[in-house]
Amino acid sequence: MLEKTNHINSLFDFYQDLLTPKQKNYMELYYLEDYSLGEISESFDVSRQAVYDNIRRTETILEAYEEKLHLYEKFQERKKLLEQLEEKLTNQELEAVNQLVKSLKELD
């Protein structure tokens, strides 16, 4: 469950501006503020099922955005390459550094 929460939070960070205000509110309360479905439903005066359905639909939307745009995937790749670059700089392996820099440039 924690892995899913972290994944959805990451996707939310990248794609939240593409969501409706209601979708953003529900996701922020549920995933970031750790509200229960019941607490959210009381706050918005809707059924618990309506909140649940909205959150599940929004998760599906976030996954679809990532499938099409790959922003989170590319971010993870860049992060990994930068970590490798940092490690190589520490070890003074200049040829490896040059190769990593080329790889980073190819991502954009």
Q: For residue 40, with 0-12 CB atoms within 10 Å meaning exposed, 13-18 middle and 19 or more buried, which class applies?
A: buried
**Distances 105 to 37, 39, 101 between C-alpha atoms, Å:** 44, 46, 6
User: pLDDT (tens digit, 9 = 90+) per residue, 93-105?
Assistant: 777 777 888 888 8
- Residue-wise pLDDT tens digits, 50-87: 999 999 999 999 999 999 999 999 999 999 998 888 77
| The pTM of the whole model exceeds 0.85 | no
The residue among 88 and 16 whose pLDDT is bigger is 16
At residue 90, does pLDDT exceed 70?
Answer: no
Is CATH 1.10.10.10 correct for 2-69? yes
Q: What is the dihedral of CA 60, 62, 64, 69, to 10 degrees?
A: -170
Could you give the residue range(s) of every CATH 1.10.10.10 domain in the chain?
2-69
**In the structure encoding, which two tokens stand for residue 61, read together?**
């939307």
User: In this predicted model, which residue has the larger pLDDT, 1 or 45?
Assistant: 45
